[in-house]
Structure 1
Amino acid sequence: MPIRLKWEIENKNRFSNINDYSETDRRRVLNMIDNNLLSVHFQPIFSSKDGAVYGYEALTRIKGDNDKISISDLFLKAILTKTIFPLDMQCRENAIREAVIQNINNSGSYLFINICPETFTDTAYRDGITDELAEKYGISKEKIILEITEESAIQNWKLFKQAIDKYRNRGYKIAIDDFGAGYGGLKMLSTIEPDFVKIDRHFISNIERANINFNLVDAIATLCFRIGIKVIAEGIEQENELRVISSIGIELLQGYYLAKPSPVVNGRGIAIPAIHVKKSSRLHTNEECHFIGDIADKVETIHPTAPVTTASNRFIKNNELWVLPVIESDRAVGMLHRRRFFEEHILGRCGYGMHLNAHKNVRHVMEPQFLTVEANTLLEDVVQRVNSRRPEFLYDDICVTENGRYSGIVAINSLLDAIAKKSLILARGSNPLSGLPGNEFIQREIDKRLSQNIHFDVCYIDINNFKPYNDHYGFERGDFVIKTLANVMVEHIKSFESNGFNFAGHIGGDDFIIIARPQISIPLCEKVISIFESRRQEFHGIDDYKNGFYQSKNRKGEDESFNLLSISIGIVSTEVHRIHSYAQLASLAAEVKHVAKTHSDLKSGSSIVRDRRLLVDDNVTEESKLVFKPSEVMIQNQAVGKELHHPVSPST
């Protein structure tokens, strides 16, 4: 059994013998830092869908003959001798620098970096240090995932959450490492609402024989799926473990069986073994959407060692066969396209193609470059990839894979037909002004998610004082505002996209809706507000924009001064309320949006209200309360059915 090389910080009992650590230990830690005795190894994290590298975890190693102390002991000594801050910062810088040197930042992969929570309480700690490292080496913060081990001894949860929130607001993603190994896993999950959860190796080991481990891993995966958290199974060391984990539907995989940590990045993917099991419904939350796999046709294949004459005979016998996928070990390695195959290899430029190629096998004449996509890729995404091809290959058939293995072929005309049908259905139910799905589609989306018992947030968006704006500036300018908001929503839903989960709709007039995962709803709404407000000079013109208001008639027909356009957003979450129907959710959303509009009137600007009345906080009494934050209002601990208490003044 391989020894795990990742450093781990165990629970509080490891700190009991604090007197065992001396000034010598302190100097030893500082010596490691000052003399550059720490290096970085990278272990890839793979996607179970296609075997592609999703990201790399940066693991600290001790160079050369200096490894008489283990990494875990080094970090423990650093914590006890109060040298954890410089050690943690050195490890972060090493990880970011080496990732840039090895071009991880330009490969599209994420960089996973372990951070030590004890750093947050160090007197030398300050905000923005990791930002400075990212800017120094030119890596996007959105591509960095900060891992916090569940076994960390967190003394101050409030300070810890504040630090995590600051990282997330700057664009970093958060992962809980070794989930299930400590005692505070669920509390940490609830406190920081991570983007990723890494299931501890203990539960993966021999999972094919340990029924309790299987059930626990399946339960963790189901829980995380429902609240929108990606799951990583780490410590996969055997093929049987990989097969069981894949059958559960966990999408990200890491372990010695797949790839060992290495100082040199290896970007090659692997062939995940095919799992012939019934797909879990939780993996397919968009069955009504059209994926490329829905329209794929099984086409006969050919092996790369087959003679060229075999391929020629197959094309001759079947006039409707336009492409032959070349398959080796269940993976597509090339394609034979009928027209080019005959023109270039059978006829040839001078008519001697068959004589020159008859003795060759398919590998010598196949086209190794071709478009291949996973079966769960959205049709719209496939169209974008098709359009990026060179003109001479624009109409080539598309190879579809499932878990990296050949699944079928899609002809371009089939793709166009599917897109046309989908567009027609969408157009019939879309708002003619914004082009967004209308009420019928909105209800279908919500009903579908409710039936699947998936947690999601509904964000009810309303433009404040839109009627007087329309009356003053005219319907043409009003239509421009509506279209602008719709475009902003669609654009930034894509930037927060999560496998087609997010949804934007137009209820009518100046009312819109966004459906998103709970952990991204507020950042997404904040982004929509920020971009919308940045366009106010276009909406109002230079003079009114400089004045900060405009004059128009109110509903009584009287002249009144109105503030520049702003947005009110009310958010209702199914992780807070037990929603049973579309009507119930619509009623709650309208109620919370009303509170948001009241708050907007008080602060003369945009506001976000997220309803949390059924969530009980340790520091909040059972009395009905409103808790104000700079970017949101949270309605907490109020019994269902009671009238909402409106804010008198916000306090930040």
Structure 2
Amino acid sequence: MKPLTLAAVHGERSILSLIASGALDMHFQPIVELHDGRIHGHEALVRGPRGTPWESPDALFAAARRQGVEIELEIACVKAAVRRWAAHRQPGRLFVNVSARALVEAFCQLSAHECASVLRSHGLAPSSVVLELTEHEHVRDFGPLLGAAQAVHSAGMGLALDDFGDGRSSLRLWAELKPDIVKIDKYFAKGVATHGAKLQTLRALLQIAEVFDTTMVAEGLETPEDLKVVRDLGIALGQGYLIGRPAHAPAGRADEAACEVLRSRDIAVLPELRRVAHRGFTAARFIIDAPSVAPSTTHDELIQRFHADEGLHAVAIVEDGCPVGLLNRQQVLDRYTKPYFKELYGRRPCTLFANLTPLLVDMHTGVEELTAILTSEDQRYLADGFIITENGRYRGLGTGEQLVRAVTELRIEAARHANPLTFLPGNIPISDHIGRLLASGCDFVACYGDLNHFKPFNDHYGYWRGDEMIRLAARAFVTHCDPRRDFVGHVGGDDFVVLFQSEDWMDRCQHIIESFNERALALFDPQALAAGGIEAEDRHGVLRFFPCTTLSIGALRVRPGIFTDPDAVASAAASAKRIAKARACGLHVVDSGEDGGAAA
């Protein structure tokens, strides 16, 4: 090979000179099977000559674009990758990057049969080579590209779509090209262990991949936590610095840090997506198409309007399209039947006794602002209802009953996913996590925590301090659990669930109990602390003494093959909790493989 001089690098035809001299260097980065850690293949990554301005691929291709030889450089890179890969005689597949333009150009020069013959001449089976389509944002004419994709498959090679989801990708391209593999942009895998939105996006892409019968690759895996989450989601292949960095020679196995994660039977604690209270829910859902009246309408005319429409709970007073008042049906009828009202006020305008400061709600108002109405000082909306507007103009009426019912239903639904007091996962995520633990076949410990004598405390000091007690319990659980291995959920009220994979779970439970019991004392007044508790009514209304609030935990060791239903695990853990409370022992442990339990 003729050496490349620095003078040649800076020459007018320097990129073509570089190609002709064979100075392109190839590195290989491993791609692994996430279910067992085996090497699936390697991606070939070009490097320019060391010590030159083109050592990095970005600089190399930038120079090629300036000189108008970008496609020539791409095709040269594919040829260099095939030659170097064939020389290593490494098992697995070779992934090679190629732009849409270069792919179309290549198959204008070679037929599918000729392309397959070239690969075989290097000792490579066409099925061992995957062409990664890059820069697909430039595709304007799908016809030639679809023809090239068909040629790739006819040659027996695989086709991959690279960097899907980077903001320039096309779902249409995925659907029409029907690639064998789609590599998801590294943005979605990076930090997925702590970002619920990224997790949900990957889940959605997995569903799309299933529809199109496509294998997914998660790129950008750099931490054990992200790798574990991606593995548990069921994504088939992974690539990133944690698995292996680009190197001159292909890797025989993934790096040990990645292998350790992939060998582990522990499951990831998936991040929960904070469910903003139904962003699509607005006051527009409440609109009752109710007629309005003018400010000059008399009480006599108003009575006739109400008699003509028995379902009209109120009527808005509107002037020039804008609401200026509200009249409640029942109040108008009650006033009209009083002695002499008809004679004195029947022909007087209805604004005389109207609510001239009604509650006005724009139809685009979200549920968070609607919820605030429930706690406002002016509660007349419960009887009168409220007026719904759009840009200040009258659109219709809403009732207080509608508002209360809708907000309550939304809160109940949200609480099934995350408790509104502690923001910990609720019943549905708890059941989902138990199901994943059971499916993994690993040992784990399901703990059910409950506060002793909480109701008397709540009744005695009020729910504000009661809420603080519950938040204190939540902090104790979260503080002493490993967020990477242990799942903390809030069933509701003063009931908590912890699903431990940490081997030192018993010590963690003791720390949780001790921490809570000590800090909970600060919520009692000095008199109660001196007495060791409070006097309050029990569930039967009898006044008696209750000790200061403490925490009990029932722990269930779950062995593989004992349970198949998450509800059965939760029920057994709750039974252990009841024993802990009855014995006032703090922690009671039950082994699912034994009939009895042990108190600790």
Q: Taking structure 1 as the reference length, what is the TM-score of the superposition?
A: 0.37
TM-score, normalization: structure 2?
A: 0.40
Q: Which has the larger radius of gyration?
A: 2
